Structure 1
């Protein structure tokens, strides 16, 4: 695959991700949901941190919330630069198409979420108790302090777990509970490709390089 085609695929995934987030942000109040099927809902939440809503200061309590947020955003920027360089080198050396495809999905998803973290606080007003405005006067956070927009919710099953299950038996449980977005899906697809087609993606020649 050429660098031009890879760039076009990344832009396409980014467009789908960002258009879906902008629509949700400008049509939903935070916490609002719409049931599509019993097992699938559009549910608007905002993620302040990493996967599963974990914040960096949850792991490192000595960091303030603002410092943790900016540090995480900066780390994500460097991570994207690293993945971008890896993708460029793989394409330039005519590496395995499987690896190129996986990196395209991972990079597109990572860029999609970093756009939220860097710019959304400035581009949008708050979604708390009201529908946000785009490019309005009242931004909800400074640059680098934006929150990631999530909206895809798949409560496929919920109920009380059997009591014989250690530690969590008898607890109410929902599968699948996390709320995510198109960028998250893209990243997951990339990692799934790397896991299941590991030998093809990382052939002997690729590992040597």
Structure 2
């Protein structure tokens, strides 16, 4: 495939994943509340369970508070810039199309979660009474009224690169009770989004197909 076609392919893939990811997040955020019950998507093992996290993929964080959140967001920006540079370099060096597809998924996923952190605080109203907007130790005291009683809570900081990431998908399945150490526990308890899924698929493609991608 010609270099220009590879650039076009990467651009289209990233754009499609980003559009789908943001459509799902905005739809979930505007149609569900923080206390909405989980809804079955595919039987009882795959559910929609709306939440928000203050970290990155699958809720990973770099510590709490303003410094940790800023460090995480800056890490995202640097990582995305690095991936873009790497993709451009790989296209120029004639990398296999399938490898570029895998890299496109990782780039799209990382960018999708960055969009949440960067812009959602300017688009949606901030409610400090919602649990996922609270952060113990932040020092950011805000007034909150619950059941008619006003009290102060420590809320997360808001603004550019400080917003939450919207998550909604969850595998609600448990290991068999007969299995040692894992019996009765959830197979994968994390709540995730399409961006997380794209990152995971891209990384798995590289791990499973690395001999094809790096046959030299």
- TM-score (normalised: structure 2): 0.77
1:76 matched to 2:76? The reply is yes
Structure 1 residues not aligned, in runs of 5+: 58-63, 130-139, 205-209
1:44 matched to 2:50? The reply is yes
Give SS of 2:185's match.
strand
1:14 matched to 2:18? The reply is yes
CA distance in structure 1 between the aligned counterparts of 2:191 and 2:90, rounded to whole angstroms: 33
CA distance in structure 2 between the aligned counterparts of 1:169 and 1:116, rounded to whole angstroms: 34
Structure 2 residues not aligned, in runs of 5+: 131-156
Q: Which of 26, 29, 32 is residue 30 of structure 2 equivalent to?
A: 26
CA distance in structure 2 between the aligned counterparts of 1:93 and 1:169, rounded to whole angstroms: 45
Aligned 1:146-157 pairs, distance under 5 A: 146-157=163-174
Aligned 1:1-209 pairs, distance under 5 A: 1-32=5-36, 33-36=38-41, 37-57=43-63, 65-126=65-126, 141-157=158-174, 161-162=177-178, 165=180, 168=181, 172-204=184-216
Confirm or deny: 8 A CA contact 2:13 2:101 kept in the other structure.
no
CA distance in structure 2 between the aligned counterparts of 1:169 and 1:201, rounded to whole angstroms: 35
Deviation at 1:83, TM superposition (A): 0.3
Provide runs of 4+ in structure 1 moved above 4 Å.
none
Structure 2 vs 1, CA of residues 186 and 52 (structure 1 numbering), >3 Å: closer, same or farther? closer
CA RMSD, Structure 1 to Structure 2 (Å): 2.1
CA distance in structure 2 between the aligned counterparts of 1:110 and 1:80, rounded to whole angstroms: 7
Give SS of 2:34's match.
coil
